Amino acid sequence: MSVPAGEFRRWLDGLAAGGDTLDWDPASEHAEFRAWIASVYAGNGAMTMPWLERLIHERRRDLVVHALRRVKDRAEAELGSFDGPAVTTVAPSDEEPNGIVRCGYGDRITELTSDRVTVTVADRVQDWIARDRRVVWPVCPEHGRGLHAMLDDGTPSWICGHTHHRVSTIVDG
Ligand SMILES: [Zn+2]
């Protein structure tokens, strides 16, 4: 279904202008986010803010759950299966218009694209394994150091702090 580009643009600009309570950026040019918000608009038209916030919350939760499964697959292949970390959510409300999505320890997750969500979730899984399993994971096979989850050329990657080299992607392409 095609949407007049001008209407969509005006709707997004309106969100950006009135969006001081948003924990996401309606003006983001990230291709995955743009495609998603355009498809949501095509299906729903100009939504009220509470309606849109609910869709954003569900989108974020789905991205986190998906990333967690993929990151855990890698970790469990090395460490054996384990029962955490959990994804917990608080639905959007007047007090929390964006709702809350958490994974393991640490603050609410605010990212809204799979690349950034994957990096954050990998960091939370690493943290959970360190605290609950008392194991450093993952480790650089060359230098024996714990790795850091980050975007490397736009790809979620495990980076070794020693000479800053990429050991692997965080999930399979
Ligand atoms: Zn290394």
pLDDT digits (tens, 9 = 90+) for 78-99: 999 999 999 999 999 989 989 9
Q: Domain range for residue 29?
A: 5-169
Cα 142 to ligand 1 centroid, rounded to whole Å: 5
pLDDT for res 152:
96
pLDDT tens for 88-145 read 999 999 899 899 999 999 999 999 999 999 999 999 999 999 999 999 999 999 999 9
Containing H/E element for 10? helix 5-17
Domain count for the chain: 1
pTM for this entry: 0.93
Type of residue at 33: F
Which helix (H) or strand (E) segment is 52 a member of?
Answer: helix 49-79
What span, in angstroms and rounded, lies between the C-alpha atoms of 48 and 52?
6
CA–centroid distance, residue 165 to ligand 1 (Å): 6
Residues with CB under 5 A from ligand 1 (ion): 140, 142-143, 160, 162
